[in-house]
Each structure stands twice: as structure tokens, then as C-alpha cells.
Structure 1
Amino acid sequence: MNAEFGHIVERVGPLHSLYVGSGPTGTLSPAERQRILDLCGEAFPSFTCIEAMGYFRGRPEETLVIHMATSDLDRLVALARDIAVDHQQLGVGLATPEPGEGTIYKRIIPRRQHGLEA
């Protein structure tokens, strides 16, 4: 190994994950995927999106898992809410590191005019 080629380590922030399901249809259209990614790009300049198969209330559904390294939890929660409203989801999953507890999974459920159900 050549010591003259060193490196730096840039600390970006804690890693959080959003889980966006496809709802009752079980599938995400290309337009839905793009809209979700557009919302993410408007809120954060860098993120990773992984396509997965999730299960919600016993039913399989295409799911986007979106990883973001950030210390701005308020902006991340607002993004989850915006995705849920725009995508007509009951809620969006959010996994965040909690001091002394590890990673905790939560759901961001927006308040709606006619209650919580989408």
C-alpha cells in the first residue's frame, strides 16, 4: 500500500431510512416512483433508493427503501409526510437511530381532513 495516497473521512450524519409502500394495488407505476424520487430530490440532494418487496398487514407490496444521511430530522419527517399525502398512503415508515436504543421503526401518519385513513 502506498502511503502517499491517503484519504479523508467525511462525517455526513446519521443514516435514516424511509419505507414507501405501493398501497392497495401492490405495485408502483413508473410515474409514482418518479414522483416519490422527485420529492426526495427536492428535500435532499443525496440519497439512495432501493427497490424491495414489503408486507403491510399481511399483503405484499412493492416498496421503495430510501436511505438519507442527515441530522435534519424535521426535514426528513416533513418529507415522509409529503410522500404519504402525495402518494395517498396511510403512512410512510421511518427507521432512525435513537441514542441508547439502536434503530427504531416508526410510521409518519399525516393528519387529514377526514381522519387518519387515506
Structure 2
Amino acid sequence: MKLLTKVHDLDEAQSIKYRLEFRGIPIFIGSENSGPAIGAMPAADCYTIWAEVDEQYQCALIALSNEDYEPAAPINIGEFRSAQDHAVSEVRNTFSKINQYILNVVMLGVIGWFIYYAVSRI
């Protein structure tokens, strides 16, 4: 990911995201859920706009300044998001399997210790 710009208004950030993604350039908005809020101390003072695919960074910069620009190799946003979701799901499943394995080893160790302790007291 490469930083494109920073804005102070969430509506402007989302407008940029929708405009560029319509052109086939995946965009990520940083601080989208923790940006400035009315009446509260902000966790972030602005929203950052990122080009998610490094190879499309230059296209994204041009598209920001020229609304008629069409990138040479647009990405299907639906397929891109689906692939991202699948990758995240795979990582979570792998992490869960590792955690389950570690928990099983720890539990077997605890059970073994209790059995050893009970047998040694007899």
C-alpha cells in the first residue's frame, strides 16, 4: 500500500474511495473508524487514503487529479475484496488450528501432572 493523500472529512475520503474504486483502483481509508468525531477527542486528526496495490499508485495519483482518467489495467473490486476476505479467513483458520494444538498440548501436560501427583501420593 502507498499513501495517496490525507483529508479531514470522512465524506470526502469515501467519495475519493468510491470514485477510484469505480475506476478499478482498490483504496483503503486509514482511521476510518477512529477519525475525528464531533464533541470528542479524536484518535486521529485526519483520514489517510491509500492505494492498496502498489502497481496502481501512479494511476491512482493521476485519477485523483483527472476525473476522466481510465487506468490501463483496472482491477475487479469485487474479486479483489473476495480474495482479501478469503486470505484473512485462511489466516484466522490457521491461527485457530495452532492455538488448538497448543491448548491440547498444555491440557495433556496438566492432566499428566495431575495423574503423576495422584499416583505419587498413594
* TM-score, reference length from structure 1: 0.34
Who wins on radius of gyration, i.e. which is larger?
Answer: 2
Structure with the larger strand share: 1
* Higher share in helix: 2
